[in-house]
């Protein structure tokens, strides 16, 4: 298994290919050989990303079958099922890297801000379960001067939400904490630009 830093480099190179509109020959060949993946998997990165249809991790990183262990949920939030999925992949496959992948113009962020501006009397409890996990990260920003400038507020909230999810994974699981302390796992945040196709990794 490659190291976390090598995994990041591999993802960055894949994203550069995606932005340039080219595909890796290796990715295409791996995709054609389905039988090779039937007996097991060894993903080199775990991606906790948003469900948005415009942000499929395998495509924007130009990876193929078996390369990424992808968990998608609106707002790239961290709930017990997501933590368990990350723990499973990190322990079972020895995957060295976790990326929390948010994106520009996130609908879940906008929905949370809308409810902060005008609380709705009736709202799906299931939708609220997502909003309530995003809210602690964005509400402090909502109560600053950014509240009057939505164009600046949304990007700041997206970044804050990504980092909040990254922090929750880093400190909300004894298993993941131990793997990080042992140098076996790295957890980072990143943001995909719907406008350019580029992924920016955060320190």
End-to-end CA separation in angstroms for the chain: 22
Q: Position of tokens 């039937």?
A: 38
- Separation between Cα atoms, residue 80 and residue 82, nearest integer Å: 5
Closest by Cα among 195, 10, 197 to 99:
10
Q: Report whether 157 belongs to an annotated binding site.
A: no
- Contacts (Cβ under 8 Å, ≥6 apart) of 116: 135, 138, 139, 142
- Contacts (Cβ under 8 Å, ≥6 apart) of 43: 66, 67, 68, 69, 89, 93, 95
Q: Report whether 50 belongs to an annotated binding site.
A: yes
Q: Report whether 52 belongs to an annotated binding site.
A: yes
Q: Report whether 103 belongs to an annotated binding site.
A: yes
DSSP element (H, E) containing 70: strand 68-72
> Do 100 and 162 meet the contact criterion of CB atoms below 8 Å apart?
yes
Reported as half-sphere exposure (CB side, CA atoms, 13 A), residue 189 has a value of 21
Sheet holding 68-72, edge to edge: 68-72, 45-49, 97-103, 186-192, 199-201
**Binding-site annotation: residue ranges:** 50, 52, 103, 106
**Known binding-site residue numbers for Zn(2+):** 50, 52, 103, 106
């Amino acid at each position: 298994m490659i190291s976390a830093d090598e995994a990041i480099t591999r993802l960055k190179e894949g994203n550069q290919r995606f932005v340039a509109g080219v595909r890796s020959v290796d990715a295409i060949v791996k995709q054609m050989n389905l039988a090779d993946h039937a007996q097991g998997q060894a993903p080199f990165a775990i991606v906790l990303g948003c469900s948005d249809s415009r942000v499929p991790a395998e495509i924007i990183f130009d990876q193929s079958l078996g390369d990424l262990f992808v968990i998608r949920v609106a707002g790239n939030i961290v709930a017990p099922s997501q933590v368990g999925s990350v723990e499973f992949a990190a322990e079972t496959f020895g995957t060295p890297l976790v990326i929390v992948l948010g994106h520009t113009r996130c609908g879940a962020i906008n929905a949370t801000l809308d409810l902060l501006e005008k609380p709705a009397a009736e709202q799906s409890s299931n939708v609220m379960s997502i909003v309530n996990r995003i809210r602690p990260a964005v509400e402090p920003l909502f109560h600053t001067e950014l509240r009057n400038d939505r164009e600046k507020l949304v990007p700041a909230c997206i970044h804050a939400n990504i980092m909040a999810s990254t922090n929750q994974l880093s400190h909300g699981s004894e298993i993941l904490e131990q793997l990080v302390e042992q140098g076996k796992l790295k957890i980072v945040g990143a943001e995909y630009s719907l406008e350019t196709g580029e992924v920016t990794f955060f320190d």
